[in-house]
Amino acid sequence: MSDPSPTPETAPGSGVANPTLILLVLVLGTLMPAVDTTIVILALPTMAGELRSPLATIIWVILLYLLVVTLLTTQLGRIGDIYGRARLYNIGFAVFTIASVFCGFAPTDLFLIASRGAQAVGASLMLANSGAIIADHFPPARRGRAFGYTALGWNLGAILGILLGGAITTYLGWRYVFFINAPIGLVAVWLGLRYVRDVERHRTPLDLPGFGLMGGALGAIAYGAIDFASYGLRPLNELLLVVGLALFVPFLVWERRARAPLLNLALFRQRILTYSLGSSFLQGLGYLAVVFLITMYLQGVRGLSPLDAALLLVPGYIVGGCLSPLMGRLSDRLGARVLATAGLVCMLVGVLLYASLRVDSPYLDVVGITVVTGVGGGMFWPANNAAIMANAPRGAYGAISGLRSMLSNTGTLLSFVLAISIAAATVPRYVAYEVILGTTKLIGGVGAEFLTGIDGALYVSAGILAAAAALSVLRGRHVPVPPGPPPGPPSR
């Protein structure tokens, strides 16, 4: 069955859209947050020193960003369905750019953290609506390729963040980590306003009670999990986790009765969509923790600087970035199940190989393993994302795109908790935090003990990735739609 989405050339009200320029704006929208993610991690110790901020405070420069993105993506995707996905995407780019400038001028750590929260709002607007914009402007036979290029943008951003982070922090200062977003953001906002237009909108009322209940549930769970990772099990995080899980009960009851639900539960009767979303969540939960764990291994156990440790990970990003467009194009022809599952298996093998590293393993082994995981990422992300959007109902593109981002970001956030909680079982939690920041090294006997904790966390990650691969296999066969003549304009 062909998708009725208009192609860029036939999108009503937008003139003759240029698919290349639309894709360029979307790639920039994934590249800039990726650059900031890796740069901020590298620059965090310098920020802490200059702003005289304690570790327990400055770490929220990372955590608040993750928390806000996790909470907002589903809601903002739904709002994009109502008020226009392109409009919200362009607003998000502008907010992200302006907030970056505020981050650069931050006089205190709290001002910086607040500005990062605003930056996360802009990133959420982009992430929640980017998949829906691809579904709006590209027919099913070309979506895998489009998602491949956005995956390429993320990998390029991570590489640029690693390469630029150390140099900018060393020679210009950490504030320019954020200032570099301004010129790129201005160009992207201009291109977005000019070329990325709304195809259609769906004037349905907002589900405010649903927003409140889901936001409360995710907020309580995320904050409770972060508190647990920071301080161990205590009454506050126990209460937050219980309250967060309990709020899902009234949320589900309300969503079954709401006239325009935030989350249409009937969508989950679609097997391919449900299993693809589940794979996305488990992949984020199982694999993103690995990045933290290997960073702790390279910095804390092997004694490398943050920049040297990050450079060892670059080959994986390069391979993943180069493969993503090719694999996206291949998924347009073969479907998602084989490629996405093979990608998860590659990641699983890579994680098990990481668990075999010892305190004296050659660094070349690390580079080789990053290539294996890079191949896996290049196969999984474009294929799985294309399968999700191909099986999303037309009127729910924004909601499903936001749900996909929310599940992936929830996995990322919880993976941080997983990495800290399990790996820190052999050393105090504050030491594990300092290892991540590169301010403490555990070379020697203590490092060997810490490595035992890292191995345990890696085996847990491998088990989660195995579950993701099982879901990917069980999703069923997604049959790609062959290219055909452009469909006519959608009905209003």
pLDDT by residue (tens digit) across 169-198? 777 888 988 998 899 889 888 988 888 877
- Strand segments (E) across 84-140: none
CB atoms within 10 A of CB 171: 8
From the list 464, 84, 143, the residue with the least C-alpha distance to 328 is: 143
What pLDDT does residue 155 have?
78
CA 340 and chain centroid, separation: 17
52 lies in some domain = yes
- Separation between Cα atoms, residue 387 and residue 144, nearest integer Å: 8
Q: Based on the structure, what is the number of domains in the chain?
A: 1
**This prediction's pTM:** 0.77
Structure token digits, residue 386: 């294309």
431 lies in some domain = yes
| pLDDT class of 444 with cuts at 50, 70, 90 | low
Instruction: Give the residue, 414 or 365, on which the prediction is more confident.
Output: 365
Point out the least confidently predicted range of 118-132, 161-175, 429-443.
429-443
| pLDDT class of 362 with cuts at 50, 70, 90 | very high
- Separation between Cα atoms, residue 412 and residue 400, nearest integer Å: 18
Average pLDDT, integer, range 264-275 = 83
- 173 to each of 46, 49, 254, 306, how far by Cα in Å? 8, 12, 50, 16
Structure token digits, residue 403: 């749900």
Q: For the chain, what is the largest distance between any 2 Cα atoms, rounded to a whole number of angstroms?
A: 69
Instruction: Give the residue, 214 or 250, on which the prediction is more confident.
Output: 250
Point out the least confidently predicted range of 42-51, 81-90, 352-361, 483-492.
483-492
Q: What CATH number did the domain enclosing 290 receive?
A: 1.20.1250.20
Say which DSSP state 359 is in. Answer: T
Structure token digits, residue 404: 């996909």
Burial 230-262 (b: 16+ CB within 10 A, else e): beeeeeebeebbeebeebeeebeebbeebeebb
What pLDDT does residue 13 have?
38
| pLDDT class of 204 with cuts at 50, 70, 90 | low
For residue range 4-50, what is the model confidence (pLDDT) as tens digits? 333 333 333 334 457 788 888 888 888 888 888 777 877 777 888 88
What pLDDT does residue 92 have?
92
118 lies in some domain = yes
Above 60 in pLDDT, residue 478? no
151 lies in some domain = yes
300 lies in some domain = yes
Burial 159-170 (b: 16+ CB within 10 A, else e): bbbbbbbbebbe
What pLDDT does residue 120 have?
93
From the list 322, 323, 292, 321, the residue with the least C-alpha distance to 309 is: 292
Above 80 in pLDDT, residue 463? yes
227 lies in some domain = no
* Type of residue numbered 30: T
Domain that holds residue 391: 19-198+260-474
- Separation between Cα atoms, residue 77 and residue 403, nearest integer Å: 7
Structure token digits, residue 383: 């294929």
- Separation between Cα atoms, residue 256 and residue 252, nearest integer Å: 6
- Separation between Cα atoms, residue 306 and residue 300, nearest integer Å: 10
From the list 98, 104, 95, the residue with the least C-alpha distance to 39 is: 104
The residues, ordered by sequence, that sit 6+ positions from 74 with a Cβ below 8 Å of its Cβ are: 128, 214, 262, 263, 399, 402, 403, 405, 406
Above 90 in pLDDT, residue 77? no
Average pLDDT, integer, range 280-294 = 85
What pLDDT does residue 483 have?
47
Q: Which of 31-40, 160-169, 354-363, 420-429 has the highest mean pLDDT?
A: 354-363
φ and ψ of 106, to 5 deg? -55, 125
349 lies in some domain = yes
- Separation between Cα atoms, residue 463 and residue 409, nearest integer Å: 19
CB of 427 closer than 8 Å to CB of 457: no
216 lies in some domain = no
Instruction: Give the angle subtended at the CA of 23 by the CAs of 332 and 64, to the nearest 5°.
Output: 105
- Separation between Cα atoms, residue 251 and residue 262, nearest integer Å: 10
Structure token digits, residue 173: 């200062």
The residues, ordered by sequence, that sit 6+ positions from 260 with a Cβ below 8 Å of its Cβ are: 204, 205, 206, 207
| pLDDT class of 335 with cuts at 50, 70, 90 | confident
pLDDT averaged over the chain? 81
Q: Where are the alpha helices (DSSP H) in 234-270?
A: 235-257
**Residue matched to tokens 């690390």:** 366
